[in-house]
Amino acid sequence: MSSNLSANLSDDVFILEERSLTGTYIFAAIVLGFIGFFGFVLNLLVIVTVVKNASILWTPNNVILVNMVVGDFLVAALGNPFAMTSAIAGEWFWNHEVCLWYAWFMTTMGFASIGNLTVMALERFLLVTCPMKTLSIRHAYILAFLVWMYALSLSLPPFFNWGTYGPEAGNISCSVSWEIHDPETHNDTYIGFLFIFGFFLPVIIITSSYYSIIKTLKKIGKKIGARNRREKKVTKMVYLMILAFLIAWSPYAVLALATQYFYARRSIYGKLRDGAIVRKRLINSDQTRHARKTINSTNRNGDDPSVRHRELERKRSVLPPASFRLPDRKRSEKNTNSPRILQAVSRFADARKKFVTKASAHSYVTGIVRGERKEKE
């Protein structure tokens, strides 16, 4: 009788665990579908907004932001449906080849996101601590390209027999096989490589950058103007994006490391990984929201340094050389008794209206001066 009782109890426990697992998968599928839809729409809106207003919004900071938004958009469009379908099925729904592709794709997008956040932290560091060394558009393009090269250098080795991809413990997604110890593929050294260059080094760079930013902002104190206050707000938004990302992935990263090197329990790892999938999608949507705020805040009233620089260059291109500029107010008042000077000033004003280039205005005013000299002679 005791054996029957124990068998019934074990069956009941199994049924409860199965129901709990099914409920978890259903909840994950609903959340993934909801976040995937809004992540797709919001990221697409950010991209369209920047493209439509490229002349104003295409700044170095926003180049990196858009680079990250494009990655999140690809995750929502191409990666999220596979995990959501598998969550509905309660297991990985697709074949092994799709599993390998999905693992590589999501790993690449994840490390690209980390790379973009690191570059954004460095950009904020330069802007706050060294205002004269802000990034140019060309530098931003190069950094955006290097971010993708960085991500590919971390995600491609398993295709060259260094490390492996496969289903994860939750069995609704695929990624690096953190828990496999295979001497043929040297999985342990590959995972060590990922953690050093894909997690710890970016975290050190981000932490150091924001430590310097905080010290600089404390020194500035109340002396900052309206523009610098807006730059401080943008810096805070970037900080929140980075903090949210680290909160989402640090527990998973630590336990994945423990699974490979300290043989942590696979079941705990699987549950944490399932939660990390949902948290990652939540963080992606939160990053998109902050990205939209950052784009709006950075460029409000032409606050972005690169926008101001381009506007200054445009103005310089239509101004004549310094020797032919209009006299300032005091100089004008001092020379009001000279009708010849007033006439020259009037002609010069007409020249500025008629010509929009520096060379044209210069030649026109030079002709005026030569005419005045001939009249004197």
Question: Domains in the chain, ordered, with CATH?
Answer: 12-272 (1.20.1070.10)
Q: Of the given ranges (125-129, 167-171, 295-299, 310-314), which has the lowest mean pLDDT?
A: 310-314
- pLDDT at residue 197 in the model: 94
- Residue 370: pLDDT band (50, 70, 90) is low
Which of 7-11, 77-81, 232-236, 297-301 reaches the highest mean pLDDT? Answer: 77-81
The closest of 142, 137, 139, 140 to 309, measured between CA atoms, is 137
The closest of 245, 238, 249, 272 to 194, measured between CA atoms, is 249
Distance, in Å, from the CA atom of 173 to the CA atom of 86, rounded to the nearest integer, reads 7
- Does residue 327 sit in helix, strand or coil? coil
| Per-residue pLDDT reduced to its tens digit, 273-294 | 544 544 555 555 555 555 555 5
Distance, in Å, from the CA atom of 33 to the CA atom of 138, rounded to the nearest integer, reads 38
Distance, in Å, from the CA atom of 267 to the CA atom of 169, rounded to the nearest integer, reads 7
Beta strand spans in the chain (E) = 165-167, 174-176
Contact partners, residue 363, CB within 8 Å, separation at least 6: none
| Per-residue pLDDT reduced to its tens digit, 129-154 | 887 777 788 999 999 999 999 999 99
* pLDDT at residue 377 is higher than 80: no
- Residue 232: pLDDT band (50, 70, 90) is low
- pLDDT over 90 for what percent of the chain? 14
- Does residue 337 sit in helix, strand or coil? coil
Are 219 and 128 in contact by the 8 Å Cβ rule? The answer is no
- What are 174's strand-pairing partners? 167
Q: Hey, what are 333's tokens?
A: 């008042």
The closest of 315, 246, 302 to 276, measured between CA atoms, is 246
* pLDDT at residue 302 is higher than 50: no
- pLDDT at residue 236 in the model: 73
* pLDDT at residue 267 is higher than 70: no
Rg (CA), the chain: 30
Q: How many CA atoms lie within 13 A of 350 on its CB side?
A: 8
- Residue 10: pLDDT band (50, 70, 90) is very low
